[in-house]
Amino acid sequence: MKSVLTSISHFFSLVPNALRPYRWPILISATILSVFMAMGLSRFAMDVTMDSWFQEDDPVLQSLDEFRSQFGSDDGLYIVYEAKDGDVFSDQSLRLIDQLTERLENWQDLDPQTITSMGLTQEQIDHLSHIKRVQSLTNIRIQQNTGDSLSSPRLVQQLSMSEAEREALKAQAMAQNNLPLFLFSKDFRFGAIMVTTDFGAVPVVDDLQASSDDLLLVDDLDSFADDFTAELDLTAEVTEVKFQDMDSSLYLGFMEPIVGLYSTPEMQGQFNFYPIGGAAMVDLAWDTMIMAAVLSIGTVLIIIILLWRLFHSVSAVLWPLVAIGLSALYVVGAVSWMGIDTSQLISLTVMLIVAVGVADCVHVMSSYQYFLRKGHGHQEALTAAYGQTGLPILLTTITTMAGMSALAATGMTQFVIFGLSSAAGVLMAFIYTMVLLPVLLDLWHPRIKVKAGEADEDAAKRHWLQPILDRTPAFVQRHRHLVNGVFIGTFLLCLYGATQVKIDSNFAELYREGTDFRMAYDVVDANMSGTGAVAIMVDMGTSDALNDPQVLNTMANLQAYVEQTYSEFVVTSNSLADVVKETHATMQDGSDRYRTIPDSEIAVAQLLYLFNSANPEARRALVNDDYSASHINFTLLNAGSSEYSEFFASIQQDIIAAFEPLRDQYPDMDVHATGSLAMMMRLMDDLSRSQFESLTLAVVIISALMILTLGSIQAGLLAIIPNLIPATLTFGLMGLLAIPLDGDTLMIAPLIIGIAVDDTIHFITHYRMALAKFNDMKLALINTIKEVGQAVTFTSLILGCGFFMLSFSDYLGIAKVGMFGSLAIFVALLCDLLFFPALIMWFKPRFGQKNVKDNLDFKGVTNVIND
Amino acid sequence: MSSMTSRLLPGLAVLFAALLATVGGWSSAQAADLSARDIMQKMDDTRLASSESSFNRMQLTTCKYGVKNGKLKCVEKPRVKLLESAQINLGDNNKDTKSIAIVLQPASEKGIGMLSWTYDDSTRDNETWLYLSALGKVKRIAAGADEDSEPTSLFGSEITTEDMETGKLDDYIYSIVDQGEYKGRPVYVIEAVATPERQRKTRYSKSQTWVDAERFLALKVQLYDKQGNLTKRMQVGKIEKIDGIWVTRSLTMFNLVAQRLTNMKLDGITFGVDIDEAFLSQRALTDTAFREANLNQLRAQAK
């Protein structure tokens, strides 16, 4: 083993000199490749929908797709407003909401002066063409049943009224079944405008059978209609029309004029606005991305400042930055050229590449500078540096790649892409460090000015870090029991804490308190019908089953039961049964006595006929064309995924209990909960399970590699403990502090494996190599701490501070990664500098070597250079 | 639900006008100098005139469609509705109307009826009565403001009231986009773009109509949604001359997005029949014997 390690190290030490004659071909090839990859960026595509997380044949996705194709997407904007005068029915509130409703409905009529005064352009206003319908207090109609006459007057017929009239109006509004909590809160402080859009329902033009440009040409449809006979043929080919994918720019373009319309001084003087819905979410996600970008720039700045502070050299700053840039460019470019749609995880890939790229370069340059300080010339120092760092970098590359590839084993599409692209990125960083960096350093490299007459050793000492590192072995020896005690205690405590971690994702809690998003969620949950929704798909498998009073009664009973049993989540519900009841009452005397499902199937069919004639789109959104499938909708208060999961599990039991008696009559029926929320719950389950699996796999792979490299099981196991501490600390702290581990924070695990563990591997590998060289534990440890200690401290400082910047994000998904990531990095540093030496002093592992001096007395040692 | 009744209002007259058109003996030479707007006006005039005192029986067939061996097929059991309707014109200038429509099939909807009285006098509200046979109740539906009436489906089919609307020529700007021969007939292709005022109400950004240059019948219509995508197509099938009037006996509306079609077929038609005004009353909705007696008379005259 000793000779293998030595020969690998030797091989890496030859690399810089071997590449030197080919430096121009290398540089030219790298430039060409970079241009090629940069060209690929124009093809970059991101799929941020939740669908992208599932394989196409996943039952959850199929269920939701089926639901969407039957009933369409319901991607609207729900603008909740709070009246500052405390009354959404006050004259002022009604007047302004009427104005806003009118502007949203008839945006074409806005004159240029009004548009300019709102700081908008005509082009921005044109995005409002996606509005299909606007419902607000001032345009909503109510059903009136007077004697044998039906009418549907507006709820609000005049905008200005006396107090007595206002009270009567409120009473009338409260008496409506479907308006309270939908358009106003029960204390009248909050109101809402529902904007229905065509988002997700815009057909792909190519799929439609348009006539050719020659209008007089006769196509298939022209001739089909001549002799139409309604022949049934189930095998005929149907062209399923696809709908355009929603991309973020559509939402963003839509939100701009909407926000402009309600941001006039008069509106802001009267109301606070809280928009909720797909468009509002994307708008917010965009803000988050901008903030993340700003913070990333901050991270890069910190990296630059620290690189400068540590190396005092422009080239030492430039080359790591080029490493980051090129590695990221190659991965994103390659993914784009391959036509793979990535997810938000691409940002984690880039972060990982930044970390690994910087670490690889810093290790080489720190070592290079160390040898320069010792008086070596450029080529000599470069050879020595690659000899020292090549093997550990290879090892960390392999372990990180293994850790990331382990994610691919989960089979989840986005994890496979994330895992493999990250692994490729790490490999890119390695290739850069091994091939391009020596060539670049040949062109331009940091210089160390050694004062005339100054001893080499003094020069090496000059860095402020070295004296601290010199004193470290003696310090550890003096306090080794304390160090071991503290670290092992912490490790055990964190192991316990990790078992206590609650995996729970809460949408609202992804943002800090006080942010707009969090406030909107809180307001809508506390005052309106709630921010969550779940649908129960009721597919009876038989045509006209939804005309059956038994089926409708079962639906109505289930609704009542669920509303009552889960009142802590469920706010409102609606279904086809409600429509039938309401229409029934309307066609009778309008009283509650008839708010029932009629007993006869024919009566139900006729009420549904009426509903269909009046509003075929609403009908199609609620029940399919052959009346075999419908759905029950519940609005829910926001909660964490763990609570929701229990709720979903138990509601599924209730569904079975309610519908099973109908099984004889409808043997093909399929009733189950679906919708985005149900999908998210499955995703959370999958995420936590796959993260656990891939983490375990990664630990096994890394352990095996360590045992193999270090040539001894004892040493391998010894090395694994410091490796595990950063990860367990993160999860342990979360468990102990009762911070729920959400979907985003779960992603920290692979990052920690990628970053924190790397330094430890550098440290241990170097110690192993030093031991092979010196056959003396004391010298090996001192040498390791001095040489690798510097590089490890540098990378930890750079990456730790860089990650810490992210913890300022409003989006806690990013902030937590920043916070816990930097914590893990610094803890890993302490493990390397304090805990690993203490463990060596305790167990004195020989790594399978014989004749090793195990005198580990460092008393009085502050500066020993042995090379 | 709250606006259900207001949404049912757009006139029944639309239904009658949908399938009919008279021939005015126009020659293509005469029509040669007509503007796009003139052509649409002629089409509309003849269509409206034809609905005077008529009785007809029609069948609406709706299904999801597919193609097999180059033929159009229903890929699910088609929903078939059979209706009978009658209309007379009244008032000073024959501009008021009374009309009734009764569903014969399917069995579950049999006897559903709608009675509608419209008045030319803008100070008089139109009146509509709805009858659901299974509940035995007649409800008068009070007219709502026209400003936000939305198009509704014709008896639950793919055809909406807006698709069949007549008049309102001022709401559109017309242009002739092509002319020539289409399926053996001389045609103008007229494009209609809604005025800004009309844009508020319509579902469509524009339409293209293939108008027979001699008979002034629509042979084909393409309807574009607000994003400018073609979403619906109407094709006319059989055209026959009955009592000197050109009649479209079959038309098919394709919903290209949902891939569903509704075929509207005229089984029987009578023009200029003498319909007793007393028949077009609430009694016809509720009194089956009275209704059948009147309808039998009309059916005997139908062709």
Q: How many CB pairs under 8 A join A and B?
A: 241
Inter-chain residue contact B160 with A616, CB threshold 8 Å: yes
Cβ atoms of A511 and A814 closer than 8 Å = no
pLDDT band for position B13 (cuts 50, 70, 90): very low
* Chain A hits for B138, Cβ within 8 Å: 148
First to last CA, chain A: 21
From the list B67, B183, B259, which residue is nearest A241 (CB)?
B259
Shortest distance between the Cα of A50 and any Cα of chain B, in A, equals 25
- The answer to whether B68 contacts chain A (CB < 8 Å) is yes
pLDDT band for position A205 (cuts 50, 70, 90): low
pLDDT of amino acid A562: 95
Q: Which residue has the tokens 């008045």?
A: B119
Sign, Cα dihedral of A585, A591, A594, A595: positive
Per-residue pLDDT at A684 exceeds 90: no
> Span B209-219, mean pLDDT?
86
The whole-chain average pLDDT of chain B stands at 77
Inter-chain residue contact B2 with A142, CB threshold 8 Å: yes
Shortest distance between the Cα of A46 and any Cα of chain B, in A, equals 25
Shortest distance between the Cα of B123 and any Cα of chain A, in A, equals 18
Beta strands in B69-203 (DSSP E): 71-74, 79-90, 96-105, 113-118, 127-132, 137-141, 172-182, 185-194
Cβ atoms of A195 and A76 closer than 8 Å = yes
pLDDT band for position A559 (cuts 50, 70, 90): very high
Per-residue pLDDT at A91 exceeds 90: yes
Q: Which two tokens stand for residue A195?
A: 């904007």
pLDDT band for position A680 (cuts 50, 70, 90): confident
- The answer to whether B195 contacts chain A (CB < 8 Å) is no
- Which range scores top for mean pLDDT: A167-176, A680-689, A707-716? A167-176
SS3 content of chain A, % helix, strand, coil (to 5): 65, 10, 25
Q: Which residues of A117-146 are buried (b: 16+ CB within 10 A; e: fewer)?
A: ebebeeebbebbbbbeebbbbbbbbbbbbe
Per-residue pLDDT at A489 exceeds 60: yes
Counted residue by residue, chain A has a size of: 867
pLDDT band for position B10 (cuts 50, 70, 90): very low
Per-residue pLDDT at B1 exceeds 50: no
Find, in chain A, the residue whose alpha carbon is nearest to that of B227: A129
Model-level pTM greater than 0.90?
no
Sign, Cα dihedral of A537, A541, A543, A549: negative
How far, in Å, CA of B60 to CA of B262, rounded? 6
Distance of CA B160 to the CA centre of its chain: 9
Which of the two residues, A259 and A854, has the higher pLDDT score?
A: A259
- Name the H helices within A263-313: 265-270, 278-311
pLDDT above 70 covers what percent of chain A?
A: 88
Per-residue pLDDT at A261 exceeds 90: yes
Per-residue pLDDT at A798 exceeds 80: yes
pLDDT of amino acid A214: 65
pLDDT of amino acid A1: 55
Residues A329-356: tens digit of each pLDDT: 888 898 888 888 777 677 778 888 888 8
How far, in Å, CA of A406 to CA of A424, rounded? 13
Q: Which residue has the tokens 């009826």?
A: B113
Count the neighbouring beta carbons within 10 Å of the beta carbon of residue B111.
Answer: 19
- The answer to whether B2 contacts chain A (CB < 8 Å) is yes
pLDDT of amino acid B148: 53
* Chain A hits for B64, Cβ within 8 Å: 238, 625
pLDDT of amino acid B15: 41
From the list A586, A616, A626, which residue is nearest B156 (CB)?
A616
Contacts of A391 (CB under 8 A, 6+ apart): A5, A8, A9, A12, A765, A769
Per-residue pLDDT at B23 exceeds 50: no
Count the neighbouring beta carbons within 10 Å of the beta carbon of residue A103.
Answer: 21
Residues B164-209: tens digit of each pLDDT: 666 667 788 899 888 888 888 899 898 988 887 777 777 788 888 8
Q: Which residue has the tokens 């609606």?
A: A574
Q: Which residue has the tokens 């806690």?
A: A812
Choose the weakest-confidence range: A520-524, A861-865, B174-178. Answer: A861-865
pLDDT band for position B303 (cuts 50, 70, 90): low
Cβ atoms of A459 and A450 closer than 8 Å = yes
Which of the two residues, A726 and A864, has the higher pLDDT score?
A: A726
- Rounded to 10 deg, the angle between the A345-373 and A748-774 helix axes is 20
| Alpha-carbon separation of residue A739 from A690, A748, A752 (angstroms) | 20, 14, 18
Choose the weakest-confidence range: A613-627, A678-692, B112-126. Answer: A678-692
Residue B299: exposure state from Cβ atoms within 10 A (0-12, 13-18, ≥19): middle
Find, in chain A, the residue whose alpha carbon is nearest to that of B65: A238
From the list B1, B134, B196, which residue is nearest A606 (CB)?
B134
pLDDT of amino acid B144: 52
> Span A637-649, mean pLDDT?
85
From the list B63, B112, B139, which residue is nearest A609 (CB)?
B112
pLDDT band for position A864 (cuts 50, 70, 90): very low
pLDDT of amino acid B6: 39
Nearest alpha-carbon partner for A368 in A452, A426, A303, A440? A440
CB-side neighbour CA atoms (13 Å) of A42 = 3
> Span B12-21, mean pLDDT?
41
pLDDT of amino acid B14: 40
Contacts of A206 (CB under 8 A, 6+ apart): none
pLDDT of amino acid A173: 94
Find, in chain B, the residue whose alpha carbon is nearest to that of A153: B144
pLDDT of amino acid B226: 77
Which of the two residues, B18 and A508, has the higher pLDDT score?
A: A508
Sequence letter at residue A188: F
> Span A201-225, mean pLDDT?
64
Phi-psi region of A274 (alpha: psi -120 to 50; beta: other; left: phi over 0): beta
Shortest distance between the Cα of B181 and any Cα of chain A, in A, equals 7
DSSP bridge partners of B234: B221, B253
Per-residue pLDDT at B8 exceeds 50: no
pLDDT of amino acid B29: 38
- The answer to whether B226 contacts chain A (CB < 8 Å) is yes
* Chain B hits for A228, Cβ within 8 Å: 72, 237, 250, 252, 263, 265
* Chain A hits for B67, Cβ within 8 Å: 220, 236-237
Q: Are strands B250-255 and B260-270 parallel, antiparallel or unpaired?
A: antiparallel
Shortest distance between the Cα of B232 and any Cα of chain A, in A, equals 9
Which one of B14, B64, B65, B72 would you mutate to disrupt binding with A, by most A Cβ within 10 Å of its Cβ?
Answer: B72
> Span A573-597, mean pLDDT?
88
Per-residue pLDDT at A694 exceeds 80: no
Write down the ipTM of this complex: 0.80
How far, in Å, CA of A622 to CA of A556, rounded? 14
- The answer to whether B4 contacts chain A (CB < 8 Å) is yes
Which of the two residues, A727 and A313, has the higher pLDDT score?
A: A313
Per-residue pLDDT at A5 exceeds 80: no
How far, in Å, CA of B83 to CA of B60, rounded? 8
pLDDT of amino acid A507: 76
Find, in chain B, the residue whose alpha carbon is nearest to that of A214: B178
Q: Which two tokens stand for residue A292?
A: 């993340």
> Span A91-110, mean pLDDT?
92
Inter-chain residue contact B108 with A611, CB threshold 8 Å: no
Q: Which two tokens stand for residue A642?
A: 């763990």
Q: Which helix (H) or strand (E) holds A499?
A: helix A480-499
* Chain A hits for B231, Cβ within 8 Å: 203, 208
Per-residue pLDDT at A98 exceeds 50: yes
Sequence letter at residue B165: E
DSSP letter string, A691-728: HHHHHHHHHHHHHHHHHHHHT-HHHHHHHHHHHHHHHH
Inter-chain residue contact A216 with B130, CB threshold 8 Å: no
Nearest alpha-carbon partner for A411 in A48, A52, A55, A51? A55
Shortest distance between the Cα of A207 and any Cα of chain B, in A, equals 9
Per-residue pLDDT at A193 exceeds 90: yes
Distance of CA B49 to the CA centre of its chain: 13
Which of the two residues, A10 and B116, has the higher pLDDT score?
A: A10
pLDDT of amino acid A675: 74
How far, in Å, CA of A357 to CA of A432, rounded? 8
Inter-chain residue contact A225 with B236, CB threshold 8 Å: yes
pLDDT of amino acid A660: 94
How far, in Å, CA of A768 to CA of A261, rounded? 68
Q: Which helix (H) or strand (E) holds B55?
A: strand B54-68
Nearest alpha-carbon partner for B236 in B221, B251, B247? B251
First to last CA, chain B: 40
| Alpha-carbon separation of residue A332 from A340, A400, A429, A437 (angstroms) | 10, 18, 13, 21
Find, in chain B, the residue whose alpha carbon is nearest to that of A242: B257
Task: Name the 3-class secondary structure at A864.
Answer: coil
Q: Which residues of A198-221 are buried (b: 16+ CB within 10 A; e: fewer)?
A: bbbbbbeeebbebbeeebeeeeeb
- The answer to whether B108 contacts chain A (CB < 8 Å) is yes
The whole-chain average pLDDT of chain A stands at 84
pLDDT of amino acid B4: 44
How far, in Å, CA of B289 to CA of A323, rounded? 91
Per-residue pLDDT at B43 exceeds 60: yes
Phi-psi region of A86 (alpha: psi -120 to 50; beta: other; left: phi over 0): left
Per-residue pLDDT at A269 exceeds 90: yes
* Chain A hits for B254, Cβ within 8 Å: 209, 221
Which of the two residues, A718 and A380, has the higher pLDDT score?
A: A380
Inter-chain residue contact A143 with B5, CB threshold 8 Å: yes
Per-residue pLDDT at B34 exceeds 60: yes
pLDDT of amino acid A171: 94
Residues B64-112: tens digit of each pLDDT: 888 887 778 888 888 898 999 888 877 776 667 788 889 998 888 898 8
pLDDT of amino acid A247: 67
Q: Which of residues 13-52 of B touch A (CB under 8 A)?
A: none
Shortest distance between the Cα of B274 and any Cα of chain A, in A, equals 30
Cβ atoms of A588 and B132 closer than 8 Å = no
| Alpha-carbon separation of residue A781 from A1, A425, A605, A776 (angstroms) | 19, 32, 86, 9
Sign, Cα dihedral of B118, B103, B160, B143: positive
Per-residue pLDDT at A288 exceeds 90: no
Per-residue pLDDT at A472 exceeds 70: yes
How far, in Å, CA of B257 to CA of B267, rounded? 29
> Span A421-447, mean pLDDT?
89
